[in-house]
Structure 1
Amino acid sequence: MLVVLLIASMFCQGLTAVSYGDNFITAFPENMGFFYPWFPWNSLKVTALHNDTTFTVFYQNTQKNLQILQSGQTMDVLFPKSAVVHQLGSSAASVRVTSDKNITVVSLSRMETSVQTNVVQPTVNLGTDYMIPLLDYAGYLESFDLPRLVSTTMRYSSFKLLIINAVDSQNTITVVKQTSTDVQEETFNIDSYQLVQLQTNGSVLRVRSSKEVAVILTHPCVETADCKCNMVVNQILPTKFQGRSFIVPPIFNVAETRLLVVSENSSSLFHDGNQLEADSSGLLPFSNLETSQLVKASDRVSLRLVSPGLVVELIPDTMFFACYLLQFYLQNGRAVVIAETDSKEDVHTHTGLLSASWTAIAGTNYSSTEVTIQDRIAIIWHPTSKIAVYMLEYMYSEVVFGGPAIPINEKPDLHGCVLVPGAFAVGRDPLNWTKSFEYCMNNGNQFACPVSKAVLKDMADNLTTEDGTGWIGLRRSLLTTEWYWQEEYEPSVSYVHWDDGQPLGLLKGLCASMSLDPKKEFKWQSARCCDKKKPVCYKRPACLNPSQNWVLNTVP
């Protein structure tokens, strides 16, 4: 059988956790801004991945059907002030979005210059078991030497948890809390699509549920410099998405940072071979974020990078993807890209190759870069390997919100950010090479071009078993006698899979065929172009191309 070395074997244990889907549920936490009343801007940015996408927004007792005509286009859906979740306890203020085709959803809250964006996870990514970050607000203030401006009232002196029932039936919730003497459990029920907001000051350890829920950690006003405040929002991922190895990205213009680890088994963190020791608040000191750095855990954990007014969930290396969608509130947002060092120059954006200055990450085979993205919506993708991408924005030279970009496709592809995978097929009738080429093109395809081991493996996994040989898109130039691909993205030949004794001399074969028998490992042979063989065709994938044409709508 064909033996293929996976390009990124370290990711073989990764979970597929794309952030698109057809069903979402979320809520708008309270945002205090600058401590005085100002009309909030709360919206969902819905991006269609396919043409003619119809989606429905459910809020309170209303629903609104909306349509996006163009793939890659975003609609900004604005919600009333009443959508904000102010009080503790139960509420019906959840927001649901369902769609007939795959979409992505980003939540935006703005109160004056306090801005927070949050990638809303589709319900397929939700779970029934969540480990909660132990952020004690008093310890948080002390750790960063921040003023105690709002710590006199219970409402603003602690972090909150929003637990949202994601199913259309009653859901049983169990909250595990740490008291001064022991661990206690509190159990209650939430009705269909309802939510409950709880106060937590480093006391809630875990949330379990009988059915899927969304869990959001939030604070309405975390102090930053110059007596300002900024809302914190972090949608917590279920425990199944934890990892053991993380590359901590640089955070622009942030002087102080901490690491916040959540682990079921008291995992230890290691950096540069040294164990990181937490301070009294549970935050681990972590400075010198001018470059990306490797942090490893002794067991599976979730890891967050914390600075005043900012909580960034880190991407474990088992959850790197090939393509990401980036959505910014303002133009000229910033992105951190982490890519394999050997292929870092192949990172693309929606406008072409990424032009960047890369820095190697010690202890890894990765490099990272920081770049400015001029468009408000963009994609960053890699044709042959997996990468990690973070999007961050700043106001007045301070980072105030951001996090991981939206993962779209886990599998690399030469053609771009794939939405619908390509497909291989073998023609029914034997034809010469030229007629085979015409057959593929006339049927909306092109010649199959296995330009790498990964592409060849994809062919081997998807082609039906056939006897004999078939034409592929490889032939010799009559001018230079060099082999070249018909695939315009990869004309040069850097990978070959010739059979023993192949290719034959120039006069014995200008075209290339491939064995269709898996037992012969799909080896290639040179052949005369007038010979008749079955064409091996490839239908190109549908790829995401973001549109800068935004549409505004309101609910209700």
Structure 2
Amino acid sequence: STDGVTGLKFIVAFPENIANFYPALPKNMIIITALFHETEVVIKGYEHHKDTLILSAGETQTFDVEAHLELSRSEISNSSLQISSNKLITVREVHHKHHSIQTSLVTPTDKLGTDYLIPPVPIINGTSHPVDQITTFVTENNPFRLVIINTEQNNMVTLTGVASKNIFLLPHQVASIWLKPEEAFRAVSAKMPIAVLFGHACAHLRNCTCAQLYTALYPTKEETKKFYIPPFLTKGVENGAYVLLSQRESRQVKSASQISPLLEATGSAILYRPGLLIPLIPETDHGACSIVTSVPNARNVAVIVVHRNLTAGVHLGYQSLESLNWQQLDGNDYVSVHIDLQSNKSVIWHSSSKMAVYSLGIKDGLMFGNPAAIISKSADIRGCLLVPEVIRIGAVAGGWRESLQYCQNQQLELVSFSRRGHMTQVYNKIILGKQAGLMDLWIGMRRSACSGQWYWLSNEPVTETNWAEGEPGTVNNAQCVIMTLKSSNFIWRDENCCRNAHPVCYKDPTLLTI
């Protein structure tokens, strides 16, 4: 699950890329995005001096990782990096050596699990096929590997399959385990949380070349999920793309060309195409706002999957994406689109619903990438939500002035509406939490004693209103505004400010700086 990819603590490791003896140094990096101002990030490792980064809200920084931290061939290593922050961040790791690039979204340590299913190995001629050529002595014919990264306590990790294996790890240690066909490991479990990567140092590509192939695994969740597969992920390799299905009782490798764009499965689904392993995003893990970071010197692309009736709500920064050429997914109600990204960080958000977003890159004809970092699962018409708006119906009925004071005593204000879309959003939330018998509510609008004009307490301009027919009255009539729940569209009327009614108390949301 990609839910919960913002956090305060992360741990990363960089698996062997191509080969340790390859005559090019790794250019590994981590890409960190801060959500709030004055975010202080500390990066440290075993025998590694501390580095400190200071980021402002919405800022993305790239941190270059020392070459010697690439994992060696030894089974146990201390070469991990710990990342800690005083405020929420997202972390993306980039493995880069020569022509070989892989990326993963890093799960915060408090969201890691203790049980993971090991995917089936994809069929790669010259690497995993034919099986009798697999050997630990030739790089491109090595077995696939599991990289297990321990968190902050001593840990016992167990791999189970035809054979079983126990591994003891000290805090922050990393284990690299061959997935030999004869051992057929199916699952990995641990006493304490672990991060798990699955892949190969140098999987065969074409023309006698090979490159790293790795993805992060997500903790096991046994529930039936729907995965919508955007056509961009299989574009150009229709017959060479496979879906690796991991379930508690079975594992399958299915040709992507034989799967409809809608796949239903329990467990996890990872798409393989030459050069790429990427977890498919289940519908349960769609989000309302995601951050897509860019990898330098590559074509960076975002792929979005959303219900076909909801494309109007999709935004890139402040730009609506409704007018793009959305592609219908065969046999279901979803559509997808891909967009090229120009900046080092892009915010993709939905004003009223959820969607899936993939963060991809293309270099030298090869695709790499991962699910984008979900910032919020709650939509807001104004942007990417960090802290939701607060809407609270006051428990005490009073006059308008007393109601204003009641809200302010709770560090809230009487609600003001900046635009119709926001009115609808608030109305829908009031309907969900409506108390029986509640009919009339004060809102934060009043008539100016000087000009006779209506104004909002928030000082927003009065551009859109929702007056009942015949309302408001003249300047000599009532000076305050009631919103009534008697009608389905929550119409307003002017009212004597001394009349008793319950207030709609409100606090603005915190939005991500775009």
State the TM-score, normalizing by the size of structure 1: 0.76
Q: 1:445 to 1:328 in 2, by over 3 A?
A: farther
| One-letter code aligned to 2:300 | G
Query: Which of 314, 322, 325 is the matching residue for 2:291?
Result: 325
Distance in 1 between residues matched to 2:76 and 2:102, nearest whole Å = 23
Query: Which of 173, 177, 182 is the matching residue for 1:198?
Result: 177
2:160 alignment partner in structure 1: 176
1:49 alignment partner in structure 2: 35
Q: Deviations over 1:427-461 (max 9, x none)?
A: 8863389x99x999x97885157847664353467
The Cα shift of 1:503 comes to 4.0
Q: 1:19 to 1:420 in 2, by over 3 A?
A: same
Verify: 1:100 aligned to 2:91, yes or no.
no
SS in 2 for 1:456: helix
Q: Deviations over 1:336-384 (max 9, x none)?
A: 1111211212200114212411122233222111221222210111010
Query: Which of 395, 398, 413 is the matching residue for 2:380?
Result: 413
Identify the range of structure 1 (27-36 vs 536-545) with the bigger mean alpha-carbon deviation.
Answer: 27-36
1:209 alignment partner in structure 2: 190
Distance in 2 between residues matched to 1:345 and 1:145, nearest whole Å = 46
Q: 1:489 to 1:218 in 2, by over 3 A?
A: farther
The Cα shift of 1:184 comes to 2.6
Q: Deviations over 1:124-167 (max 9, x none)?
A: 2211110001216xx42269999x9996825542211111111x
Verify: 1:307 aligned to 2:273, yes or no.
yes
Which protein has greater RCO, CA pairs closer than 8 Å, 6+ apart? 1
SS in 1 for 2:311: helix
Gaps in structure 1 of 5+ consecutive residues: 1-14, 178-182, 268-281, 477-483, 497-501, 547-556
CA contact 2:10–2:108 (8 Å) conserved in 1:
yes
SS in 2 for 1:528: strand
1:385 alignment partner in structure 2: 353
CA contact 1:48–1:71 (8 Å) conserved in 2:
yes
1:458 alignment partner in structure 2: 429
Aligned pairs for 1:17-96 within 5 A: 17-32=3-18, 36-96=22-82
| One-letter code aligned to 2:370 | G
Verify: 1:188 aligned to 2:188, yes or no.
no
Q: 1:176 to 1:540 in 2, by over 3 A?
A: same
The Cα shift of 1:386 comes to 0.5
The Cα shift of 1:400 comes to 2.6
The Cα shift of 1:408 comes to 0.9
Distance in 1 between residues matched to 2:135 and 2:25, nearest whole Å = 24
CA contact 1:424–1:462 (8 Å) conserved in 2:
no
Q: 1:200 to 1:88 in 2, by over 3 A?
A: farther
CA contact 1:88–1:199 (8 Å) conserved in 2:
no
CA contact 1:33–1:229 (8 Å) conserved in 2:
no
CA contact 1:169–1:191 (8 Å) conserved in 2:
yes
Verify: 1:161 aligned to 2:146, yes or no.
yes
Q: 1:88 to 1:488 in 2, by over 3 A?
A: farther
The Cα shift of 1:47 comes to 1.3
The Cα shift of 1:474 comes to 8.6
Q: Deviations over 1:199-246 (max 9, x none)?
A: 114522100111101111121111223333221121100012764211
Identify the range of structure 1 (323-332 vs 20-29) with the bigger mean alpha-carbon deviation.
Answer: 323-332
CA contact 1:350–1:545 (8 Å) conserved in 2:
no
2:221 alignment partner in structure 1: 240
Query: Which of 222, 228, 244 is the matching residue for 1:260?
Result: 244
SS in 2 for 1:204: coil
Q: 1:490 to 1:320 in 2, by over 3 A?
A: farther
1:346 alignment partner in structure 2: 313
Query: Which of 273, 287, 296 is the matching residue for 2:257?
Result: 287
2:453 alignment partner in structure 1: none
1:110 alignment partner in structure 2: 96
| One-letter code aligned to 1:231 | Q
Query: Which of 206, 209, 219 is the matching residue for 1:228?
Result: 209
Distance in 1 between residues matched to 2:286 and 2:316, nearest whole Å = 17
Query: Which of 325, 334, 341 is the matching residue for 1:357?
Result: 325
Gaps in structure 2 of 5+ consecutive residues: 448-455
Identify the range of structure 1 (407-416 vs 251-260) with the bigger mean alpha-carbon deviation.
Answer: 251-260
| One-letter code aligned to 2:14 | F
| One-letter code aligned to 1:264 | R
1:542 alignment partner in structure 2: 510
The Cα shift of 1:391 comes to 1.7
SS in 1 for 2:28: strand
1:275 alignment partner in structure 2: none
Q: 1:534 to 1:63 in 2, by over 3 A?
A: farther
Distance in 1 between residues matched to 2:308 and 2:360, nearest whole Å = 23
CA contact 2:124–2:204 (8 Å) conserved in 1:
no
1:424 alignment partner in structure 2: 391
CA contact 1:33–1:114 (8 Å) conserved in 2:
no
Q: Deviations over 1:18-45 (max 9, x none)?
A: 2110011110111127984111111111
Distance in 2 between residues matched to 1:209 and 1:487, nearest whole Å = 56
State the TM-score, normalizing by the size of structure 2: 0.82
2:344 alignment partner in structure 1: 376
Q: 1:60 to 1:142 in 2, by over 3 A?
A: closer
SS in 2 for 1:225: coil
| One-letter code aligned to 1:254 | V
Distance in 2 between residues matched to 1:35 and 1:392, nearest whole Å = 28
TM-align CA RMSD: 4.0
Q: 1:186 to 1:79 in 2, by over 3 A?
A: same
Q: 1:92 to 1:144 in 2, by over 3 A?
A: closer
- Percent identity among equivalent residues? 28
SS in 2 for 1:240: coil
Distance in 2 between residues matched to 1:60 and 1:444, nearest whole Å = 50
2:450 alignment partner in structure 1: none
Distance in 1 between residues matched to 2:128 and 2:153, nearest whole Å = 43
Q: Deviations over 1:492-513 (max 9, x none)?
A: 78xx9xxxxx945446699863
Q: 1:363 to 1:294 in 2, by over 3 A?
A: same
Q: 1:242 to 1:529 in 2, by over 3 A?
A: same
Verify: 1:399 aligned to 2:366, yes or no.
yes
Verify: 1:129 aligned to 2:98, yes or no.
no
1:447 alignment partner in structure 2: 416
